[in-house]
Structure 1
């Protein structure tokens, strides 16, 4: 066997030294980089609080169905809120403009809905009515229903054709306390829950959830 020529020996030594230097730096810096990325990507768990002070907002998405909206609101008002202060925000979409049909019946129905929600008694907190001046559709209603004001505000979004159990808030509050304010269960991957099974609408690529906590 013929050994390497002498003029290749310095090159081999330099390459070996570079490899050792790279290996040492890679394994010594990787844990620090990983820890830094972990801190920047995931927020620290919220310390466990026995009696956390959070706010809760119900967002009802409505359109032109007075009968179903009244059932939805009455079921929400009949729920047990455990003495907590709960705010109600109603988001009413404007009727669609169609030249082929008369506007008068739509105006009368919109007026009936507004009169009903204005007179609806909500004794658990503030009631705010948002009425759009133009039709935006259900998807935009969902996307623009809630703008959180802090990390301690939670929103319950429900469409107007649903009714809730009188015990729904007790379940929702238990979930909030167990998975958000309990550090041992906290996960930054949990952004919300649904109170009913999500389902795909045949012939579309959309996954619909009609009530959810965010």
Structure 2
């Protein structure tokens, strides 16, 4: 069968990075033929990057190197790669600090075949993180037997767009030259640098109620090489890479497990006896109060009347509600009924969530880690001002 997705490797000035990701592509397993590879390189003074791309041998189809004559910057570069959907129909964007699973292309093709024309799907993710977006808390998506879930989060660590998906975003992007504020988008995302294309896509999918397709197993991992958005290489960006091969079990969109951009489950209102339109799920306590609807489910101590409470033992956290586990870890509040006298420090709540997520924490190790990280930041700051 012919590969319908054009693979686009995005690079700039990192020779080792471009060689590593191209090597991972050559090692992968392909159930498809005639797979086009484009290597799009932003302009830099490092000519070795272009040379590495040109000498790479691609055995699975056509290969083309695009060496841009002028510096684009990351945001314009990715946007230009997305625009290639008009020419090629579907593209997979892989930045050069990524590394792919042997089954990456087969997954992408299966997912595109299943969800490519669904109006609620805005992209297909190749990377699966084990942490909530912009958080130290872990992410445990509910498993019901399929290999796929959906989230309102546009990954930048390997993604597939077809022309329909990209055209919807492109029209929204052109209508919003300045990123609009959205109360349901994390402030950290809104504060991404101007070089970020992702903050626009994140806001777009939240604003339009769309989702990305995710595999429970990650099909890419990230080396976090020093570059435009990373100060230095770090293993903290690595994902658990799927190293096998399978036919992916893909639910219908309406039946699939869904999460919002915060990693909060969508659809818990029916278990609480409240409508989704009047309900905000904030179990990890990270949402702004201005985004709260009338009913709020949260682990935070809030000054509202408590309608129901649940334990916070089962994982993922929503199972405590679905299974009606008794306890005082999660609270359903009515924000139209203020209640005074419920005080608990945010520090205590944070520690409780960390213990829930990671188990018993060793305070001495955390202190050493914190001091080490602070020392590194201070040294980098001193070096930069020297």
Range into which the TM-score falls when normalised by the shorter chain = 0.5 to 0.7
Distance 1:83 1:196, change over 3 A: closer
Q: What is the deviation of 1:148? A: 2.1
Q: Does residue 187 in structure 1 map to residue 108 in structure 2? A: no
Contact 2:6 2:36 (C-alpha < 8 Å) held by counterparts: yes
- Whichever of the two has the greater Rg, that structure is 1
Q: Distance in 1 between matches of 2:159 and 2:13?
A: 21
Q: What is the deviation of 1:75? A: 0.5
SS, match of residue 145 in structure 1? helix
1:46-105 Cα deviation digits (max 9, x unpaired): xxxxx8x6622011110110101101011011111213221111111112xxxxxxxxxx
Q: Does residue 164 in structure 1 map to residue 100 in structure 2? A: yes
Q: Identify the residue that residue 157 of structure 2 maps to in structure 1.
A: 210
Q: What is the deviation of 1:208? A: 5.8
2:16 equivalent among 67, 81, 85? 67
Give structure 1 stretches of 5+ with no counterpart: 1-50, 96-105, 181-185, 202-206
**Structure 1 vs Structure 2 CA RMSD:** 2.3
How many residue pairs match? The answer is 139
Q: Identify the residue that residue 247 of structure 2 maps to in structure 1.
A: none
Contact 2:12 2:41 (C-alpha < 8 Å) held by counterparts: yes
Where do 4+ consecutive residues of structure 1 move more than 3 Å?
197-201
Q: Does residue 57 in structure 1 map to residue 6 in structure 2? A: yes
Q: Distance in 1 between matches of 2:43 and 2:78?
A: 15
1:126-145 Cα deviation digits (max 9, x unpaired): 11111111111111111001
- Bigger RCO (CA 8 Å, 6+ sep): 1
Q: Distance in 2 between matches of 1:208 and 1:169?
A: 17
2:85 equivalent among 143, 148, 160? 148
Give structure 2 stretches of 5+ with no counterpart: 136-153, 162-386
Q: Map 1:33-182; keep pairs closer than 5 Å.
A: 55-95=4-44, 106=45, 110-146=46-82, 147-149=84-86, 153-180=89-116
SS, match of residue 170 in structure 1? helix
